[in-house]
A and B are shown apart, each in its own frame.
Chain A
Amino acid sequence: MTTADLQIQERNLFTDWSARATARAADAGEPAWALERRSAAAATAAAMSYPDRGDDLWRRIDFRTAEAGIAGLDPFAPGPRARGVDDLPAPVVARMAGEAGNAGLLVQRDSDVVLEQTHPALEKQGVVLCSMERALRDHGARLADTLGALLHADEDRYAAISETVRSGGAFVWVPDGVEAALPLRLFQWMDGPGRLSAPRSVIVLGRGARATVIEEQLSATAEGLALHLGGTEVFLGDDAKLVYGTLQDWGRNVFHYGNQRARIGRGAELQWIQTLLGGRVVKSHSYFDLAGSGAQAFVHGFMFGDGRQHFHLHTLQRHLADHTTSDLLIKGCLKDHARSVYQGLIQVSEGAQRTDAYQANRNLLLSDTARADSIPGLEILANDVRCTHGATIGNVDEEQMYYLMSRGLQRSEAQRLIVEGFFVPVLDRIPLESVREQLRDAIEHKIG
């Protein structure tokens, strides 16, 4: 086939997807403005080709395998409705560790949200937790100026595809002055290969509101490609405080590209925890806009790769107002032939005086064939600021090994304790003990 033929074929694919997605969404009662965005995004997707080597955000990751298989994926794979937690896939239930009754719950399976379980305590407070589909029907006005406000379809080809076939996702709304009585837990599960899942979530905290939201992405490893193109937008009103954890542990066949955006208002505080464990090729863009005076973002994350996993994490600390603080720590641990790229940028705009920005990236290599790259960047337009960044890449410290072994610990056990310790500063930030425990197990399992 010629390039022109391929382009036609691709345009046909996106046109077909767009038509089906729009028809389904219209049936579900999606407002016109949202439907229009889908069609516009389809045109954008068709017009944008695979990001070339000149694209600084794409040259260090290889999505061509996903690209080659994209036409064979199903963006509309239905998930069976769950009447309760018992109807959910066992690994999801296991993650809840018997605490499903102590949280607001929303579970997505392939393209559909299959369980929305708020809690009387949350309902009484006016906290909203529902699927994006329901929210577009019932809370259209609240979404009109939030959904897509921070994350645009023309960001890149995959953001456009994601918008076109957008399916599922969560809407969280915490009214002014309310401290959500229980944590909100969001799950995304994919039942097998051949799926393209593209959820979009919006989380809004009103003035002085407080909440804890934990999102977990899980699937079993299977033969064959699956693609996850998700997006989340977070809005913190003045003086709000959100603890948000996004924990990715896909099966090893999943290509993942997630876009996270947060806008932090005056005096508000975001505690952000992001962990990347699963997937085959994983790309994540997390951007933090410190939009109001005194806004604060504390970001803790890790990537732990084995086999031939390849991670690319890009963060952006964007200081748009004065007296804002961002403090970021990303840890990377790589074994076997795994590879990670951390690309972190601090931007300070002209008016953002008295900004305090910190960025640290620490990498631990457990094999000679693993590789970590760290690419820091600073763009500072204000003159009265404090910005520091630092990166380290190294092997397990031999003196630490010797010290532990001199106490009778075998080499493998000593290494396990050191590697577990390496992740602790991030694990310590995870708000729920049971979730922390499961992550610790996952890490231990991965250390082997």
Chain B
Amino acid sequence: MSKTPELIVNDLRVAVEGKEILKGLSLQVAKGEIHALMGPNGSGKSTLANTLMGHPRYEVTGGEILFKGLSILEMEADERSRAGLFMAFQYPVAIPGLSVANFLRSALNARLVRPETNGSGTMPQKKGIAPREFRALLKGQMALLKMDESFATRYLNDGFSGGEKKRAEILQMALLKPEIAIMDETDSGLDIDALRVVSDGVNALAGPDLGVLVITHYQRILNYIKPHRVHVMVDGRISVSGGPELALELETRGYDWVRNGKEVTAP
């Protein structure tokens, strides 16, 4: 592809509480592409996802992250989100007392009323999305994800089942319309039907305007969400990259052959 990828990660080094987790990781994701990232437990996949999203606890000690040509290292998570980055959490966080609907409306409005674009003087405070319009939008998206309407009034991730949490993540992604989305083990904990619903949801959003990085342990989801590229991460680095067949190979051979350090670069 000739155009510059929206997301470029170059030789990224990240430490958590003084311990280096990412040790020179490079990766590029462009809009229109689907990448899968696999790798053994503890190899640093979630660390990568959270570092990209701007979690304050992950300290970037080297390398760079470019989003749409600009470094985002100095941006807080909210700015990154409004710039078009999204991460579906491996473990979504519960916020008791905050309804799904109230949360989503606030998140949408945060995109409409952007204080940092308010450079000179005061921008007329926009009212945000009209309640009726919002309800229709939410209802439509929830129907696509086969979520019961009562979901909107429940408190965010509070007492949600594992599957409900993952659906709620996709619902957020659908409403926020990111340009690059990172999905951290969105498939784990889903039953077969839920996996299909969630995958359909992602596929409905995928297309020329969205780049996706699917973090997973299982080939299974890749039957639904077809990746263009598959990367294997071991000990804080991408050790192998290849086409979709790489995922199948991992499924049968496990990680040991990659871990053993043979740099096999598939086509």
Interface residues of A (CB under 8 A from B): 397-400, 402-411, 413-414, 417-418, 420-425
List CB contacts (< 8 Å) of B95-120 with chain A.
95-98, 102-103, 106-107, 110-111, 115
- The answer, among A404, A406, A413, A417, for a CB contact under 8 Å with B54, is A406
Residues of the A chain whose Cβ atoms lie less than 8 Å from the Cβ of B110? 407-410, 413
Are B115 and A404 touching (Cβ within 8 A)? no
Are A421 and B97 touching (Cβ within 8 A)? yes
Q: How far is the CB of A3 from the nearest CB of chain B, in Å?
A: 52
Residues of the B chain whose Cβ atoms lie less than 8 Å from the Cβ of A425? 96-97
| Bound: A122/B178 CA distance, A | 57
| Bound: A376/B70 CA distance, A | 54
Residues of the A chain whose Cβ atoms lie less than 8 Å from the Cβ of B78? 405-411, 414
Are A407 and B93 touching (Cβ within 8 A)? no
Contact (A420, B107) CB under 8 Å given A407-B172, A409-B78 = no
Say yes or no: is B76 at the interface (Cβ < 8 Å to chain A).
yes
Are B106 and A405 touching (Cβ within 8 A)? no
Closest to A404 in B: B95
| Bound: A438/B65 CA distance, A | 46
Closest to B107 in A: A407
- The answer, among B55, B98, B176, for a CB contact under 8 Å with A402, is B55
Are B95 and A406 touching (Cβ within 8 A)? no
Are B82 and A421 touching (Cβ within 8 A)? no
Contact (A424, B96) CB under 8 Å given A408-B78, A410-B115, A411-B78 = yes
Q: How far is the CB of B26 from the nearest CB of chain A, in Å?
A: 23
Are A417 and B98 touching (Cβ within 8 A)? yes
Closest to A426 in B: B97
Say yes or no: is B255 at the interface (Cβ < 8 Å to chain A).
no
Say yes or no: is B151 at the interface (Cβ < 8 Å to chain A).
no
Are B103 and A405 touching (Cβ within 8 A)? no
Say yes or no: is B155 at the interface (Cβ < 8 Å to chain A).
yes
- The answer, among B80, B86, B98, for a CB contact under 8 Å with A420, is B98
Residues of the A chain whose Cβ atoms lie less than 8 Å from the Cβ of B93? 397, 399-400, 402-403
Say yes or no: is B81 at the interface (Cβ < 8 Å to chain A).
yes
Residues of the B chain whose Cβ atoms lie less than 8 Å from the Cβ of A403? 89, 92-93, 95
Are B55 and A418 touching (Cβ within 8 A)? no
Say yes or no: is B247 at the interface (Cβ < 8 Å to chain A).
no
Residues of the B chain whose Cβ atoms lie less than 8 Å from the Cβ of A418? 95, 98
Residues of the A chain whose Cβ atoms lie less than 8 Å from the Cβ of B111? 408
Known contacts A405-B77, A413-B106; can you find 13 more A-B pairs with CB under 8 A?
A398-B57, A400-B93, A402-B93, A403-B89, A406-B80, A406-B89, A407-B103, A407-B172, A407-B176, A410-B110, A411-B78, A421-B98, A424-B96
| Bound: A397/B156 CA distance, A | 15
Are A406 and B115 touching (Cβ within 8 A)? no
Q: How far is the CB of A445 from the nearest CB of chain B, in Å?
A: 17
| Bound: A330/B64 CA distance, A | 47
Q: How far is the CB of A58 from the nearest CB of chain B, in Å?
A: 34
Q: How far is the CB of B257 from the nearest CB of chain A, in Å?
A: 35
Closest to B155 in A: A421
- Mark contacts of B41-73 with chain A using CB atoms, 8 A cut-off: 1 yes-contact digit, 0 otherwise: 000000000000111110000000000000000
Closest to A403 in B: B93
Residues of the A chain whose Cβ atoms lie less than 8 Å from the Cβ of B87? 406
Residues of the B chain whose Cβ atoms lie less than 8 Å from the Cβ of A413? 106, 110
Please provide the 5 A-B residue pairs with the shortest distance between their CB atoms, ordered closest to farther: A421-B97, A424-B97, A408-B81, A403-B93, A421-B98
| Bound: A424/B57 CA distance, A | 29
Q: How far is the CB of A366 from the nearest CB of chain B, in Å?
A: 15
Residues of the A chain whose Cβ atoms lie less than 8 Å from the Cβ of B54? 405-406
| Bound: A425/B87 CA distance, A | 29
Are A405 and B97 touching (Cβ within 8 A)? no
Residues of the A chain whose Cβ atoms lie less than 8 Å from the Cβ of B89? 403, 406
Residues of the A chain whose Cβ atoms lie less than 8 Å from the Cβ of B56? 398, 402
Q: How far is the CB of A339 from the nearest CB of chain B, in Å?
A: 24
Q: How far is the CB of B150 from the nearest CB of chain A, in Å?
A: 16
Residues of the A chain whose Cβ atoms lie less than 8 Å from the Cβ of B77? 402, 405-406
- The answer, among B76, B95, B97, B106, for a CB contact under 8 Å with A423, is B97
- The answer, among A405, A421, A423, for a CB contact under 8 Å with B81, is A405
Identify the interface centre among A403, A407, A409, A424: most chain B CB within 10 Å of its CB.
A407
Closest to A399 in B: B93
What would 14 A/B residue contacts be, using CB atoms closer than 8 Å?
A398-B57, A400-B93, A400-B95, A403-B92, A406-B77, A407-B81, A407-B172, A410-B115, A411-B76, A414-B78, A417-B103, A418-B95, A423-B97, A424-B96
Closest to B178 in A: A408
Residues of the A chain whose Cβ atoms lie less than 8 Å from the Cβ of B106? 409, 413, 417
| Bound: A424/B87 CA distance, A | 28
Identify the interface centre among A406, A417, A425: most chain B CB within 10 Å of its CB.
A406
| Bound: A411/B77 CA distance, A | 9
